[in-house]
Chain A
Amino acid sequence: MAQSRYWTLMPEWLVYPIALLPAAHLLWGAVSNTLGPDPLKVLENGLGEWALRVLIAGLAITPIMRFLRINLIKYRRAIGLVAFIYVILHLSVYLVLDKQLDWAAIGADIVKRPYITIGMAAFVMLVPLAATSNKWSVRKLGSAAWRRLHRLVYVIAVFGAIHYLLLVKAWPPEPIIYLLIIVALLAVRLVRPQRRLRTAS
């Protein structure tokens, strides 16, 4: 595959500080009290939305490689782990600041509120993916099994978008747009690249 080396000049570790800048910005806003009258929701929703955006960035790596012939795969692990960090931060804000560790209310939320149930399910599925996002785990599980496990991210991303959609009133555009982007990024995976189609026919 023709690949301009400029696309991958940036070292992988730089993904972390860059992709976590919005989190730093939100947390700084919370500390310096510049998030407006309802800082909790700005922080909670902002972190959740960034988790979705970073997940989308991770899902875009494969289509970008297939259709634009740009190989960014070396950044994918870092992107996935950053998404996990956003989810952890989002969940922490919900548990500690929003629900204030009222475990009875949190338990009731998980059981009775579909958007919480789905959000929690997405978090639980994300844990093994984060835990196996290292070379040792790929070797230990074997490449095929590791890939199979990590396809869970497709379900996680869809759950994440539905989690957002179920929490809003009426049908504002943002959650619908996230869901459509995620579905589109999953759908293009079903399209075989043209080159291979031609050789097959």
Chain B
Amino acid sequence: REKLDAIASPLSTDEEPNSYDDVTSYNNYYEFGTGKSDPAKHAHELTTRPWAIKVGGLVNNPGEIGIEDLLSAYTLEDRIYRLRCVEAWSMVIPWVGIPLADIIDKFDVQGSAKYLAFETLVRPEEMRGQRSTFPILPWPYAEGLRLDEARHPLSILAVGLHGEVMPNQNGAPVRLVVPWKYGFKSIKSIVSMRFTEEEPTSTWNVQNPREYGFYSNVNPNVDHPRWSQATERRIGGGLFAKRIETQMFNGYGEQVASLYDGMDLTKFY
């Protein structure tokens, strides 16, 4: 496993990270199956080189970012973040990544751009979940952020975890990490970034708009229609781990709450 050189970040939590095993054997990545252990079993079938993210839409400077560029032309940072899944479990993950804002700036975004839309790779030959007769989700997996969310210092493109190159089951070679939103917003194996004026579609929102909104900020006061979001189970604590209370914006409220000033978060969930 290839090591990455990264510097510490003041934005990291001092909570104890989950073990490498926990982080890499318990994944939601439906391109490789719906079971939590499916990605660890099948994601090795994906080849992640060569790899580039196509960047387009409302930019003056469209183009591509190759994975080698990401790994060499930027200062990598360790970012230890809480991750809260919409399914009411959580982990603490030591990501290695690059502030998304630094990448956005290279492309000279036009003034009319308000959103950033992302897409995951579609490659059924290597992603067995995309080969099924009844697709579990419409592919490609798509996600989006408001541009101010994307530029927020907490938003990163992650290329590794636990000081090593990103394992395939966690979204290799490059994925988004937005720690104050439910995990599914942090799209994996990104191949496209487009700047848009209109709010982009997001896969789970299309799949079930009543249950998954565009924003999907972690919010203990707005329940999922089918289960409570007030508490969560921290993975790794074993059978008798106590449930913990979910924090507003996953505990990042001090940094991000102002992004949503004046918005009714029960409506924009």
Q: Which residue of A37, A97, A102 contacts B240 across the interface (Cβ within 8 Å)?
A: A97
Q: Give the residues in chain A near B137, CB-CB below 8 Å.
A: 170
Q: In the complex where A43-B239, A97-B240 touch, is A37 in contact with B21 (Cβ < 8 A)?
A: yes
Per the CB 8 Å criterion, the residue count for chain A at the interface is 28
Which one of B5-13, B22-30, B103-111, B116-124 contacts A?
B22-30
CA distance A109 to B243 in the complex (A): 15
Q: Give the residues in chain A near B208, CB-CB below 8 Å.
A: 169-170
Decide if A170 touches B25 in the complex (CB within 8 Å). no
CA distance A109 to B36 in the complex (A): 24
Q: Taking the nearest CB of chain A, how far is it from the CB of B101, in angstroms?
A: 31
Task: Encode contact with B along A84-125: 1 for CB under 8 Å, 0 otherwise.
Answer: 000000000000011010100100110011110000000000
Decide if A37 touches B228 in the complex (CB within 8 Å). no
Task: Encode contact with A along B226-264: 1 for CB under 8 Å, 0 otherwise.
Answer: 111011010110111111000000000000000000000
Q: Taking the nearest CB of chain A, how far is it from the CB of B162, in angstroms?
A: 14
Q: Give the residues in chain B near A168, CB-CB below 8 Å.
A: 34
Q: In the complex where A169-B87, A170-B136 touch, is A39 in contact with B231 (Cβ < 8 A)?
A: no
Per the CB 8 Å criterion, the residue count for chain B at the interface is 33
Q: In the complex where A170-B34, A170-B137, A171-B136 touch, is A40 in contact with B233 (Cβ < 8 A)?
A: yes
Q: Taking the nearest CB of chain A, how far is it from the CB of B36, in angstroms?
A: 7
Decide if A39 touches B238 in the complex (CB within 8 Å). yes
Q: In the complex where A100-B242, A100-B243 touch, is A36 in contact with B37 (Cβ < 8 A)?
A: yes
Task: Encode contact with A along B18-53: 1 for CB under 8 Å, 0 otherwise.
Answer: 100110011000100010110000000000000000
Q: Which residue of A30, A37, A169 contacts B22 across the interface (Cβ within 8 Å)?
A: A37
Q: Which residue of B34, B226, B230 contacts A172 across the interface (Cβ within 8 Å)?
A: B34
Decide if A37 touches B25 in the complex (CB within 8 Å). yes
B207 within 8 A of A: yes
Decide if B34 touches A38 in the complex (CB within 8 Å). no
Q: Taking the nearest CB of chain A, how far is it from the CB of B50, in angstroms?
A: 31
Q: Which residue of A36, A112, A171 contacts B26 across the interface (Cβ within 8 Å)?
A: A36
B139 within 8 A of A: no
Which residue of chain B lies nearest to A114 when distances are taken between CB atoms in the complex? B226
CA distance A114 to B225 in the complex (A): 9
B89 within 8 A of A: yes
Q: Give the residues in chain B near A171, CB-CB below 8 Å.
A: 134, 136
Decide if B228 touches A105 in the complex (CB within 8 Å). yes
A73 within 8 A of B: no
Task: Encode contact with A along B136-151: 1 for CB under 8 Å, 0 otherwise.
Answer: 1100000000000000
CA distance A169 to B21 in the complex (A): 25
Decide if A40 touches B239 in the complex (CB within 8 Å). yes
Which residue of chain A lies nearest to B33 when distances are taken between CB atoms in the complex? A172
Q: In the complex where A97-B240, A105-B228 touch, is A38 in contact with B136 (Cβ < 8 A)?
A: no
Which residue of chain B lies nearest to A33 when distances are taken between CB atoms in the complex? B238
Q: Give the residues in chain B near A65, CB-CB below 8 Å.
A: none
Decide if B227 touches A113 in the complex (CB within 8 Å). yes
Binding site for B on A (CB under 8 A): 30, 33, 36-41, 43, 97-98, 100, 102, 105, 108-109, 112-115, 166-173
Q: Which 6 A-B pairs have the closest CB atoms?
A: A37-B26, A37-B22, A172-B34, A39-B239, A37-B235, A170-B136
**Would you list 10 pairs from A and B whose C-beta atoms are within 8 A, ordered by A residue?**
A33-B238, A37-B21, A37-B36, A38-B89, A38-B233, A100-B243, A108-B228, A166-B226, A167-B226, A173-B134
